Structure 1
Amino acid sequence: MAALSGEQMALHSKGATASDIDQFEHVRRLHIGRHVSGVVLIALALWIVIAFARGQIEWHVVGQFLTAQAILAGLAFTVLLTALAMLLGITLGVTVAVAGLSANPIARWLAGAYVWFFRGTPVLLQLMLWFNLALVFPTIGIPGLYEARTVDVMTPFFAALLGLGLCQGAYTSEVVRAGLLSVGQGQYEAASSIGMPRFQALRRIILPQAMRAIVPPIGNEVIGMVKMTSLASVVQVSEIMYNAQNIYYVNNHVIELLIVVTIWYLIVVSILSVFQKKIERYYSRGAGRGAQSRRGR
């Protein structure tokens, strides 16, 4: 029931009828702060657009390099590195999350140590450590069976893949762990009561239900990984940022190449956002109906 004004309450107390109340004029509330903030934001947006339009930006250069071969090749490397790093991160994240919730104290300790180290050190530092691993281990492999020079194995791309993937695995493990904990304990007990092994219960009962809580943050992590791949330029991976830097070091069109990279990042992130929404809707099927049925009771 809507709140009544002081005069309306007074009429009610005097036994006034509904027709008497209807004689009052309904006055809309003035949202002054909302309108002022909207005008300020619009003015700020226009100021930024005008600044870029009047700035010393050669827009024909932006159009020229938007589809340049080096930029498109860097974009392909960025997408590939994102996909492989997320694949490694999700695989490690699920494994570490399950190990962290196991009854084995050694598995729990190792999972905690992994998360502690890779969440506690910057991604840039991890990339540099993997890229310079040859200074610690000149050769890698199994002695007597296979050995190779670390500098030949740890290429810039592989170093970036390990640095990004292992770091992502630590964050993903916490997301998966939270998703597993969101499933009621009764589901675990029900699976155990019918004799279902633990891993089968996780695969067929627990994880499908936990995906509703896991998918949204993982989708955000994928989008974050697209942008995080720009750090791989410090180890000379030919992703889009590195290739753009090589171009503007030569032609001195710094802002133009940065705008090109910005456009491509926005395009990729927009496409991924659409897929993220579709996946979220897929795993949230039935949630709305369940909420509506509960409200109807």
Structure 2
Amino acid sequence: MTVNDISAKHSLALAQRQSDALLNRCSYKGRFAPSPTGPLHFGSLITAVASYCDAKAHNGQWIVRIEDTDIPRIYPNSEQHILQCLEAFEFESDVEIIYQRQRLDIYESVIEQLQHKKLVYACECTRKMLGSNHIYAGTCREKHLDFQDQAIRVKVDDQLICFEDRLQGQHCSNLQHDLGDFVLKRRDGIINYQLAVVVDDYLQGMTHVVRGADLLDNTERQIWLGQCLSYPPLEYMHLPLAMNEQGQKLSKQNLAQAIDPQHAPELLLQAITALGQAPVDLDQPNQMLAQASAQWDISRIPKGTEIPAIYK
């Protein structure tokens, strides 16, 4: 089988998936999409609870997706810890869990789509060449480099992209002024988060995204990429972040403590409380989640981008 035959096969498979995605869209479909670059921490639990309750309060579907395209950064046993926590906290995905590392051919096919539309190009610039300037100046836009063994960037236009976040209000960015053409695939072949999340949100029929405010600035990039691919728009809600004693967001980079599945009910109650929701009874996790979903009220979620409390 030739390279062209393989590419055509992937393109046909992608076309079928895109057709299925349109047929399977419902009024509300949300997701929890952890990355196994470290164990789940309390901030992750807050996102899981909020995304679950928001979906169930709207009689929608809630789906788990493991975002593991950055294979070199996968932390040993973190995927196992994620699955153990989901089971202990009695979160149930409404469809089978997917793993992005098993879908690399799909993302490659989407890059080919964008290449045919002349919306992407190969880039030979290294971090050393770019220096400290975080706004890419389009250095390789007109070089017409071969795509093999190069980073792939998507072109952005000089226009304002705005969206109305359900919690944070209106948020806008001019990608050309604020960021420049951004990378979809790295030189080492790793698929960028921005591409994988947009493609999978579409193919899985997502309608709503509930996630942490640390991803707020990614949204305009994802909206732009979705527009390039003619994907339908999504509704976004970015949650305030739980902070540690040093005033840093709880994150894997800041060595946030892994949540202990053995204390699921107590931690679940703490997460529901952190989200400002009405009290629930300390019970089996599935009963607590059902009660929290029935009482779910986003107007009670703390305002701003930080939760005014300290968590370890």
Shorter-chain TM-score category?
under 0.3
In terms of fraction of residues, the more strand-rich structure is 2
In terms of fraction of residues, the more helix-rich structure is 1
- With normalisation by structure 1, the TM-score equals 0.25
Whose radius of gyration is greater, 1 or 2?
Answer: 1
- With normalisation by structure 2, the TM-score equals 0.24
